[in-house]
Chain A
Amino acid sequence: MPDLNLFGESGFQNVSKTEVILDNTQKQKRDEIPVKSQKDKKKPKGEPKKSLTWESIIAFLLAVGIGASVVWYLRYRSDVKTTITELSIEEFHNTGSGSE
């Protein structure tokens, strides 16, 4: 049977399902509280985790590698001369192939 509240949000309404979702959300929130507190208790103090250090090293090496590649590419590129000398028709004939 319809259970539409015109004081509520317009559009689609499903009150019973909304109530179940709200109940479940509240229950979930209640369940989450002890889990959070356990995590807090186990949280190590002091030194950062070693895995983080390895990650930093790998990231650094990767960054250096990429930087070196870029430098090498720019240098290599600068070695390749791509200057084009245009000749006029007369100059062309003067320097011509000599076949004529």
Chain B
Amino acid sequence: MIAISIKDGQLRYGRFSAVGKGVELELVNQAKVSSSELSNIIGTLSKEITMEGEDIFISLGEEYIQCDMVSMESGLELSEIEHFIKWQMEQKYGSLWPGMKYFFQEIREDENTIMVAVSVIRGSIQTEIRTAIENAKGTPIWMEADIFSLSRVLDELDDGRKRGVALFEPYGNTIRALFHDKGQLAALAEFAITKEDFQLKTVRGDGEFVKKYIEEFERYISNNELDSDVHLYLAGQLPPHTENFVPEEAIEIMSPVLPFSEENRAGHFAGDGSFSSILGLSFRSMKHA
């Protein structure tokens, strides 16, 4: 099996095989993407790592797959939910909408509302990737939004404790964040990193939960209450000056660890958080196996 992550101009990939109930990594690497065309990226990669006969799992950043979290009243029929989502997406994408494909799934439900996760991709991109993988003689098995690969990793990190957990992924002067509430994805957010603090820019999903989480986390930092119900994981590195307002001990830096079996390098691969998407895809491949 091969996992491929393409986002923010970076290509990361790993080859692994199923061992018992887990996976064993055989090869892992990253490179800067040389082209904006996904077919070129896959074509070049297939010269580095043979895809022939391999099951391919791929995750793409938001420059290729757009994600949304839509809330609506509970008790609606599936056709009504779909109608509402289509209407919302039509408003959002306007003239681009006819060429796009959408996928959705209900992820949370309470007495009054349900929350639906939506992924949207241009039909031409979907076809381009599938064809590129098939040309490389691989089998396209799974393709998802990168943020959902990370959500799978966050779920694994929470390990069934069902806390309020967040995963921060710094990118330039911003932080992409995803929030889990009681083991379920609650919101996707973006923060701006300023000199003094993080400023919330956008929230998709349960904004109230994000607000409560931030309040709770600030209380956690100021009182240093280590038994707090909130927890923060970091994939990547924050700029040095942020230590002034987010103490290092308040954050758990992610380091995806996988068994590694490449010759002369047997042991464990402990990549930095930027390889989290590969880890998330490998968790998905376990379900598939």
Which residue of A1, A5, A10, A12 is within 8 Å of B142 (Cβ)?
A5
Which residue of A2, A6, A10 is within 8 Å of B117 (Cβ)?
A2
Q: B130 interface residue, CB < 8 Å from A? A: yes
Known: A2-B117, A2-B185. A10 touches B141 (CB 8 A): no
Give B130-148 as 1s and 0s: 1 = Cβ < 8 Å from A's Cβ atoms: 1000000000111111001
Q: B26 interface residue, CB < 8 Å from A? A: no
Which residue of A1, A7, A13 is within 8 Å of B152 (Cβ)?
A1
Main secondary structure of the interface of A (DSSP, over half): loop
Q: A3 to B106: give the CA distance in the assembly, Å.
A: 10
Least distance between A21 CB and chain B CB atoms (Å): 15
Q: B104 interface residue, CB < 8 Å from A? A: yes
Least distance between A46 CB and chain B CB atoms (Å): 51
Known: A2-B151, A4-B148, A7-B130. A13 touches B104 (CB 8 A): yes
* A6 x B185 contact (CB < 8 A): no
Q: A31 to B53: give the CA distance in the assembly, Å.
A: 34
Least distance between A19 CB and chain B CB atoms (Å): 9
Known: A11-B104, A12-B105. A6 touches B119 (CB 8 A): yes
B148's closest neighbor in chain A, by CB?
A2
Give B112-123 as 1s and 0s: 1 = Cβ < 8 Å from A's Cβ atoms: 000001010100
**Is the interface on chain A under 10, 10 to 19, 20 to 34, or 35 or more residues?**
10 to 19
* A4 x B126 contact (CB < 8 A): no
Q: A96 interface residue, CB < 8 Å from B? A: no
A5's closest neighbor in chain B, by CB?
B142
**Is the interface on chain B under 10, 10 to 19, 20 to 34, or 35 or more residues?**
20 to 34
* B140 x A3 contact (CB < 8 A): no
* B141 x A7 contact (CB < 8 A): yes
Least distance between B56 CB and chain A CB atoms (Å): 9
A2's closest neighbor in chain B, by CB?
B117
Known: A6-B126, A13-B104, A13-B105. A1 touches B140 (CB 8 A): no
Q: B101 interface residue, CB < 8 Å from A? A: yes
Q: A13 to B130: give the CA distance in the assembly, Å.
A: 19
* Contact partners of B284 in chain A: CB under 8 A: 3
* A4 x B104 contact (CB < 8 A): yes
Q: A34 interface residue, CB < 8 Å from B? A: no
Report which residue of B103, B117, B185 has the largest number of chain A beta carbons within 10 angstroms of its beta carbon.
B103
A3's closest neighbor in chain B, by CB?
B105
Q: B78 interface residue, CB < 8 Å from A? A: yes
25 contacts between A and B (CB under 8 A): A1-B151, A1-B184, A2-B107, A2-B119, A2-B148, A3-B105, A4-B105, A4-B117, A4-B144, A4-B148, A5-B103, A6-B144, A6-B145, A7-B141, A7-B143, A8-B103, A10-B101, A10-B102, A11-B102, A11-B103, A12-B81, A12-B104, A12-B105, A14-B105, A14-B106
